[in-house]
Amino acid sequence: MIQVRRKSRRPPRLKPREIVGLISPASTPSSQEKIDKAVRYLEHRGYRVKVGTHVMDQNGYLAGKDEDRAKDVNAMIRDKSVRAIFALRGGYGTPRILEKIDYRALRNDPKIIVGYSDLTALQLAMFRKTGLITFSGPMAGVEMWNGMDPYTEEHFWNMITIAEPAGELANPSDEPVQVRGNGRIGGVLLGGNLSLVASLVGTPFCPSYGGSILVVEDVDEAPHRVDRMFVQLRHAGILNSVGALVLGRFTDCVPSDPTKPHLTIDQVLADVARSMRVPVLLNFQYGHIPKKLTIPLGVRAILDVSKRVLAITEAAVS
């Protein structure tokens, strides 16, 4: 099996009093209040905060012009005092700026990058171009501004502040995982939002998934669209090259017209799992849900089917 060859690059752990930068590389936060409260939350945690110049710009569904959103991202990357960059929200727009990012500066000064959903495109591009480990986790203007779930909060902060392997990524006790297949598979964790994973296929920003543990989730997609995206990954050779597949939560993925013949999202995911020749973990606590695990994209992990456990085997930060 082809293996992921790029060596992962760990960012330094986030320390007290260091600066966290806030950006809007996709859509605009719905209110200034969310930004203000996110800033207060981070300051209460002991960090200083720098807010991007264009975070509240508006250009339809985009947070301003592509050039200005990219300018904010690059300003945070190039600012050596900024040690972590948190997205305020997802939405749409990150894929439009991938060619404008200063990957060389990021390679020379690795820092913590946090977000999920549309941020998947930026995180996978960063891994492809620099090998940087990034964090598919809570966003400042979504979870942090209004009281994060304690499970989400503890897991997230431990992941980016402790330079040790996180070990088992455990679902809550009342939300057990399901498994298909057998074995104990090691590989690099890659993936994120399924729509963005699929949209990067065939571009220079798509990483090699060979031998990886692919983790995916999605939200507000009709089951037939989820089906089509998995078919695309199969036709592109990705599903046949991964070492294992982890299916997170597919939230509000319902038919656009339930009165017409359809498959449910559970039926689609079950069909995907049955078609895989490698181990599959289902119902993983990751996605557009309040109580979520943070996934460090680019770290090595092991999926042990007999124990129903996905465990991180190396530190995500240095």
- Exposure string for 3-33, b = 16+ CB within 10 A, e = fewer: ebeeebbbbbbbeeebbbbbbbbbbbbeeee
Catalytic residues: 117, 217, 288
CA distance 41 to 305: 38
Are 49 and 80 in contact, with CB atoms under 8 Å apart? no
How many residues are present in the chain?
318
